Amino acid sequence: MSFGERFAEACSRAVYPLCLGLDPRVDEMPALIRSRAVSAARGDGTAVRRAIAEFHELAVAAAVGLLPAVKLQMAFYEQYGIRGLEALGDTIAAARRNGLLVVVDGKRNDIDSTADAYARAFLGTTTALGSESRAFAADALTVNPYLGWDSLVPFARTAAASGTGIFLLVHTSNPSSVELQEAEGGELFLRAAEYVNRLSSEYFDDPLVTSVGAIVGCTFPEAARAARAAMPRAPIIVVGYGAQAGSADGCAACFTPQGDGALVNASRSLTYGWGQEPQSDEDLVEAIRSRITATGETIGSALASNV
């Protein structure tokens, strides 16, 4: 199956159109996770990896059956160096074991040869010393399209060959994004949307949902509506909801008229900010499930009023 087909199928099985964002902040994790990781590491330097892996294993368990995908923010893993990258592999493995799609949010790109290396690292395979392996077995990778067409081709080729997908940054959620992305009378981000459609038609053969999607911020609802209209078959990951104060109505603008085709990403609002510390793994799983349910119901209500 293509990534577009797997995305559509996973969304149809899920209760809520949400994506669980996993952005590891070790010192903000519940005390039970941190203390257990330090104790198990016994000074061998693996405490950070253990904390991230264990916390995300429980977060993934909480998400199973409720939502279809996780989005792993690379910067939050990379800040912890090699141990963080090892934990990235642990998290990917946990999500895949539990049947969740894995989107690695690295916003990668460069000249075509470097883009090809990024694509092989996250979407394809790498051959070295006579053997072939997958470095980070993601289902999809976020890509910056603002380097132009030639930088995107290696990602599309690798994704098409491996049954994976890519999400181009079309309109991001940060406040000053409009300074560039809405330049030229608002046309620049729509050029990125055109890349989504062109890559889909030239490198993939997806009959319904495409394997090339978009990242769109719900913090700019009018731009979100324009982006969705320009990419009617593309899957969209909606960013900016929750801590960035994006609205549920802004999220709804990213969905198709039928109320599908998008996932709203939520990160800190689902996994951090504990007023009362969970006292057990079961408490933590239940707390995250409760937050997922509350967020999902809010988004569902917004979609129902917009369909």
Which domains are present in the chain? 3-306 (3.20.20.70)
Residue 237's closest CA among 116, 103, 99, 94? 103
- Verify whether residue 71 is a known catalytic residue: no
Q: Report the pLDDT value the prediction gives residue 269, as an integer from 0 to 100.
A: 93
d(CA 116, CA 158): 8
Active-site pick, 96, 107, 120, 198: 107
* Structure tokens that stand for 290 in this block: 């409760």
Q: Report the pLDDT value the prediction gives residue 246, as an integer from 0 to 100.
A: 77
Q: What residue spans of 64-187 are helical by DSSP H?
A: 74-78, 81-97, 112-122, 149-162, 178-181, 183-186
What one-letter code names the amino acid at 281? D
Q: Report the pLDDT value the prediction gives residue 244, as an integer from 0 to 100.
A: 65
pTM above 0.85, yes or no: yes
Digit-by-digit pLDDT tens for the chain (307 residues) are 899 999 999 999 999 999 999 999 999 999 999 999 999 998 899 999 999 999 999 999 999 999 999 999 999 999 999 999 999 999 999 999 999 999 999 999 999 999 999 999 999 999 999 999 999 999 999 999 999 999 999 999 999 999 999 999 999 998 899 888 888 777 799 999 999 999 999 999 998 999 999 999 999 999 999 999 999 999 999 999 976 667 888 899 999 999 999 999 999 999 999 888 999 999 999 999 999 999 999 999 988 887 6
Q: Report the pLDDT value the prediction gives residue 243, as an integer from 0 to 100.
A: 66
Token look-up 């053997």 returns: 131
Label residues 167-202 b or e (16+ Cβ within 10 Å = b): bbbbbbbeeebbeebbeeeeeebbebbebbbebbee
